[in-house]
Amino acid sequence: MYHQPVLKNRRTLLERAEKFISDIYFTDSNLRGRLFGDSYPLESINSSLSSKRIPFTDAVQQNFVPYKVGETFGPTWWTCWFKVTLTIPESWRGKEVHLLWESDGEAMVWRDEQPVQGLTKEGEKTSYILTECLKDEDPHSVTLYVELACNGLFGAGQGSMIAAPDPSRKYSVQKAELVVFNRDVRELLTDFEMLVDIVKHLGEGEQRGYQALFTVNEMVNLCDPANPSSFTKAHSLAHKFFNQHNGQSQHTIHAMGHCHIDSAWLWPYEETIRKCGRSWVTVIRLMEKNPEFVFTCSQAQQFQWVKSWYPGLFSQIQHYVKKGQFIPVGGTWVEMDGNLPSGESMVRQFLEGQRFFNQEFGIYCKEFWLPDTFGYSAQLPQIMQGSGISCFLTQKLSWNLVNTFPHNTFFWEGLDGSQVLTHFPPGNSYEMKGKVEELVNSVKNNKDKGRANHSAALFGFGDGGGGPTQLMVDRLQRVQDTDGLPKVQMSSPDRLFSELHADSALLCTWVGELFLELHNGTYTTQAQIKCGNRQCETLLHDIEVASSLALWRDNAFQYPLKQLQELWRLLLLNQFHDVIPGSCIEMVVEDALRYYQDIRRVGARLLQDACRSLGSKEQKADSNAVFNSLPWERHEVIQLQDGTGLALVRVPSVGVAGVKDTQPVTPVSVTVQANGTVLIENGILQTIVNKDGSLASLHLVKANREAISDGCNGNQFVMFDDVPLYWDAWDVMDYHLQTRKPVLEVVEPVRVVASGGLRGSVSFKLRISDKSTITQEIVLDAMCPYIKFNTQVEWAESHKFLKVEFPVQVRNPNATYEIQFGHVQRPTHRNTSWDWARFEVWGHKWADLSEHSFGVALLNDCKYGYSVHKNTMTLSLLRAPKAPDANADMGTHHFTYAIMPHTGSFQDASVIQCAYNLNCPLRPFQCSADSVPWSAFSVNTPAVVLETIKQAEDRKGALLVRLYESHGSSVNTTLYTTLPVREAWHCDLLERLDLTKPLQVTAAGIPLNFCPFQIVSLLLVL
């Protein structure tokens, strides 16, 4: 260092270096001001505006008119295509030449009819490289097309990012010109930036920080921005600093390029397709220049979109997958919500995703990749293991509002004991930028110091796409092994998890669900989406079961394999982690509801076709019959298809029966009492309904046990103020519980609708406000152990939360909630911060609060939000957030819930089966009058549920059946079938045979063994 030593003040020297590379201050004389050299105008720029997203071949046929930089166009969600003609000056020979393009939309550059580069100012991509060194033989005159989406990286929120989109926003191109790019300036700027950040983030207590400070100060002394020949000496100083190496014990960061793209969120599905194209083609450009660069990419659906819309780009992706640079991860169709999809839906996420990746790339993913969903079911480890996956990466629990999760690297143990090696990147982000602060925090935040010395850093713009930049790659390259910082290596998930596994002896184990202490409102927001999900899951289940049986009953029947795959993929798409939770804009909601309607419309026809094949083919189909898709006999009241009334039917397990005119052992009686209340009873239950529709009493007759707490009413509707801190559609805060207000205003008091016999029911109407009402029919059927509440709500509220409460005479410190393929217990008290963070929890078809010998279950047909505090069971019904959808949940809602008091445990009382019955209606169809009841499958223990029957993926003459143990017990059982099964094999969730596990097929059935909550998949060869 040749300058005479001077007093070195840390603040002044640091700020001197910062100003030397500032893009705001002193750009006339600092280094940043020299990043670009000469500029040159474009020869011409013409534009064509389209209201739709059209392919390139259509776009170039449009009428283009002259465009002047700065002119506005739009509105939001439209597309403006630009035809750009340019001529590079001859005098720029030997220079690196860029098209500089700055706009407030998302752009894609097309050249020679192919996408070549994404340009997004928010994603720090504002130039397209025309040539890195202009040669005489290079084309000097070029025509490009730029496709510009009228939306930003995060949509078009009006006033804030998550606000509803501004539909009339206008967009413009602020800069479009040719420039000389000074690569040597860019390289030196990166040196300066990294050293300045080392000074700032190692702090005053670290000698290494002062070494960086003195180095960067000397670089400023040496560097004359007007004289590029001075750059070499400054760069050499930086190089010397960066190449002072670490010791062997230093933490290693595995850097991986990543571009988390929400399949829909603040933009519609269709725009996501273009986000994928823009982001991934940019990644390919990086791979061409950086052979060590690695990029991880999840969601088979997005690959499928790119394959359809950008086949040339998809071929390039396949090439780089083979080279090991472009790495498909996750193994699922989309990055789904981790709470709300059913167990079978989660299986299909992996089945569709892994099969796609294998078919297109010849690989199966080894790691599950779900960085941004709102909690993780306790059954996920088993589902992962069954899908060929043993590792898991996420980071969302770093968002916990109350408690800090205690680990970054650990073994996660699921409900059945399955374990997966799990990693939360300690940088607490899936969109790092390769900066020093992120590297320092990755070491500082690591909660498993001494147990795990490797971690991941996922870098690249995310959520709205964008992905990594060359600058990010350059930053990380500078500090691969720099004393004072962790080691950094470009890596892959496989390499990371291999390192973690090799040194896993001291890792801790977390047992059970990974509950996110935030975004609890997503269990309830956008109720129509949640209803569509539950109903379509049920419909697809029933189509598959009926079609599987029809294959055996009718030789002419064709299993609708292709149609079912299409319907399943639509359903799986809507389970994306910003769609089924309801945290998306109105356009996405409309798309999602349309997809559910498509599933219902096509699915109804497929189910009808299958049921028709289940009846007798030889004789006229002129009698009513019902199909039962569930694996137990059902004895219940149905509405006849021809509208002639009700019937009590008995239908065998997974089978068919004609409708016979049978009478219940005890008919339902309905009595209006002197005080205006109504007494309804069916020999199992007796209830008294108040004039306002609340339950004064709910009595379990044979046990002589009252379910409703003394002095309280069941079926009490309550309203809460629901104003979160920021994340409107996502969050309900604990303080909302302090604003409880019962709904008390009666519009129409209780009146009798059905007077007894097979069904007794009453209806009433309440006013929530001057804008909203509740109309409900309370129904008790003969032979039914639960009371149904068929509910219609006209909902026009703002930031309110509607729930229904049942205070019950049960005491237990824990309540039980159904999850995928099982159930979990959660506290009913608030002893610790971990307990009260669960003030609002999720569950599926039922929740139960039981003490020894008695309990009460709360069932539902499309709700997911629950709360059980002390002895009050609460079901969450409707929210009214205003962002990102200003009209979220407004309108008419129909749903059913039920209350079921019982003796014994919920397992022994058949709560699980009753919840299935409520959700899976008996399916009516026409058959011949002499049809006899028949059953295809049954299981001889109620603990085991036969969940799925479908045609095997790759074998026409075989069925896939899936069962699970639902009680939490080890059990031996037998699967009975009347189908002509020749062979039976165990297989995994991807339907790959386990040839080491043949099963014995006997006349008495197929014997099976289960551990608690175990999922078993079988391939039955007919």
- Residues recognised as catalytic: 372
Residue 461: exposure state from Cβ atoms within 10 A (0-12, 13-18, ≥19): buried
Q: Is 459 helix (H, G, I), strand (E, B) or coil?
A: strand
Q: What letter would DSSP give residue 519?
A: -
Dihedral angle, C-alpha 596, 601, 605, 606, nearest 10 °: -20
Closest among 788, 806, 785, 805 to 898, alpha carbons compared = 788
User: Tokens 């297109």 — which residue?
Assistant: 360
Partners of residue 419 on adjacent β-strands: 413
Tokens found for residue 1005: 């059935």
Taking alpha carbons only, the member of 81, 130, 83 closest to residue 274 is: 81
> What is the identity of the amino acid at 466?
G
Helix (H, G, I), strand (E, B) or coil at 815: strand
- Residue 780 carries which DSSP code? E
**Cis check: omega of the bond before 724, within 30 degrees of 0:** no
Contacts of 374 (CB under 8 A, 6+ apart): 337, 338, 339, 396, 516, 518, 519, 522, 577, 581, 730
Supply the Cα-derived Rg of the chain in whole angstroms.
32
Give whole-number Cα distances, 889 to 88, 578, 765, 894, in Å: 55, 15, 20, 12
**DSSP per-residue string spanning 944-967:** EEEEEEEE-SS-TTEEEEEEEE-S
Say if residue 248 is exposed, middle or buried (CB neighbours under 10 Å; 0-12, 13-18, 19+): exposed
Output the six-digit token pair for 201: 């983030």
Amino acid at 716: Q
Cα 487 to the center of its chain, rounded Å: 33
Q: What are phi and psi of 158, to 5 degrees?
A: -90, 95
Helix, strand or coil, per DSSP, at residue 684: coil
Contacts of 438 (CB under 8 A, 6+ apart): 427, 429, 432, 457
Q: Report how far residue 331's alpha carbon sits from residue 682's, in angstroms, rounded to the nearest whole number.
A: 50
Task: Return the amino acid letter for 506.
Answer: L
Q: Which long-range contacts (CB under 8 A, 24 or more apart) does 33-38 make?
A: 33/225, 34/182, 34/185, 34/225, 34/226, 35/181, 35/182, 35/185, 35/186, 35/189, 36/100, 36/179, 36/180, 36/181, 36/182, 37/95, 37/179, 37/180, 37/181, 37/182, 38/89, 38/92, 38/179, 38/180
Which residue carries 């039917």 as its tokens? 649
3-state SS record for 575-620:
CECCCCCCCCCHHHHHHHHHHHHHHHHHHHHHHHHHHHHHCCCCCC
Distance between CA 13 and CA 270 in Å, rounded?
50
Alpha helices in 432-484 (DSSP H): 436-444, 470-478
481: which DSSP letter? T
Question: Which residue is associated with the tokens 């079921």?
Answer: 900
* CB-facing half-sphere around the CA of 130: CA atoms within 13 A: 30
Tokens of 226: 């007007």
Q: Are 341 and 522 in contact (CB under 8 A)?
A: no
Q: Which of 218, 226, 221, 135 is nearest to 185 (CA)?
A: 226
The two tokens of residue 769 are 């406000």
Taking a C-beta distance cutoff of 8 angstroms, is the pair 843, 530 a contact?
no
The residue with tokens 């990543």 is 258
172/149 Cα distance (integer angstroms): 11
Indicate the Cα dihedral angle 625, 626, 631, 634, nearest 10°.
Answer: -100
